Every structure is written in C-alpha cells, then in structure tokens.
Amino acid sequence: MHNPKQLDSSIIDAQGRPKSGTDIDRELESLLSKHRASIKVIGTGGAGNNTANRITEVGIAGAEIIAVNTDAQDLIYTTADKKILLGKELTHGLGAGANPKVGEEAAKESEHEIRNALQGADMVFITCGLGGGTGTGSAPIIADIAKKLNALVVGVVTLPFSMEGFRRYENAI
C-alpha cells in the first residue's frame, strides 16, 4: 500500500523539492507549449489605462495589454500593445465627462473594434476605476462582448476615494 506521506524519489529530491528535468517536467513543458492560453488585459478609462501602463512597465509576459478610452489625449500616453478610442462619433475623443451612460454608449459604438481586439482570448481581465464615465459605463459592455466570445472574464476594479465626492461613489455603486 502506498504511503501518501512518502516522497517519490523519482521526482522529489532529499529536501522535498521537485527534481529538475524529470519526465513529468518535460511532459508538462510539452503540454504547455502546445496549449498556451491566450490572455488579454483590457484597461478602460483613466484608471484602467493607468493599470495597463503599470503592467506594461513591470513587463508581465504572456498577456496582450489593450487600452480603451473615450479620452484621446489620455490614450496617446498609454503604453499598451493595442489602443482603441471608444465612441469617436459620440465623444470626439474628449472623454465621457464622468457620465457612465456616455461610457456605455461609446463602448456600444465601438463594439466591432472591441470584439476584434478580444477575438481568440481564452481569458480576459477587465480593469477600471468605478465612479467615472468611461470605465464605469464601458466595463459591463466589454465584459459582455468577451463572454460572448467564450472567454473567461475577470473584473479588477477600484472604488473611488471618499475625497472624490458623492457623485463618483454613487456612479460606482
């Protein structure tokens, strides 16, 4: 009978660490090389774009970084792999004015571009700050698009600081 507490000396060394170069390592490496998951991180709005910049700065490998915004000036300074100006006709690149409805409509206007950017993703992380216009309004639309593309969708959001005022807090909730 196999003792579960007994270490398998073929894959574990005397200190309890996995041995390098074992058959299982080679098998796992082979499996990963054939079936690499496509991960995309999409930052929306000012806070989401700041997160995208930080991720790019840190150099996280294996994920495509996408920045979307209604504010063209903010988007210019974003260091993402791909950029999308949301709602060109609606906002003319001038932002959503802290109005989530404008952010929502801008994302709907740019649905085709968002869909193209997320195509083929197995997992999509959406990051934004809640309370403003673009992030708050567009994140649910982006999540819906990603879900329809059969991606696993994860939201990473921040709530506004109390000093940002009641309107932003109300928008966030």
Is 0.85 topped by the overall pTM? no
One domain for residues 119 and 57: yes
One domain for residues 88 and 4: no
Q: Which domain holds residue 15?
A: 1-34
- Write the CATH number for 118: 3.40.50.1440
Closest CA to 16 of 4, 8, 27: 8
| Tokens matching residue 161 | 């600081």
Q: What is the pLDDT of residue 150?
A: 98
One domain for residues 94 and 128: yes
One domain for residues 57 and 139: yes
Query: CA-CA distance, 71 to 50, in Å (whole number)?
Result: 13
CA angle, 55 then 129 then 165, to 5°: 140
| Tokens matching residue 48 | 């989401």
One domain for residues 29 and 48: no
One domain for residues 21 and 49: no
Query: CA-CA distance, 95 to 18, in Å (whole number)?
Result: 52
C-alpha torsion angle, residues 55, 57, 58, 59 (rounded to 10): 80
> Facing residues of 12 across strands?
18
One domain for residues 64 and 146: yes
One domain for residues 100 and 119: yes
One domain for residues 80 and 10: no
| Count: domains in the chain | 2
Running along the chain, 173 residues long, what does each successive block of 10 average in pLDDT? 52 66 76 84 98 93 95 97 98 97 99 99 98 97 99 96 87 85
| Tokens matching residue 55 | 């991720």
One domain for residues 22 and 44: no
One domain for residues 7 and 52: no
> Facing residues of 42 across strands?
66, 126
One domain for residues 88 and 134: yes
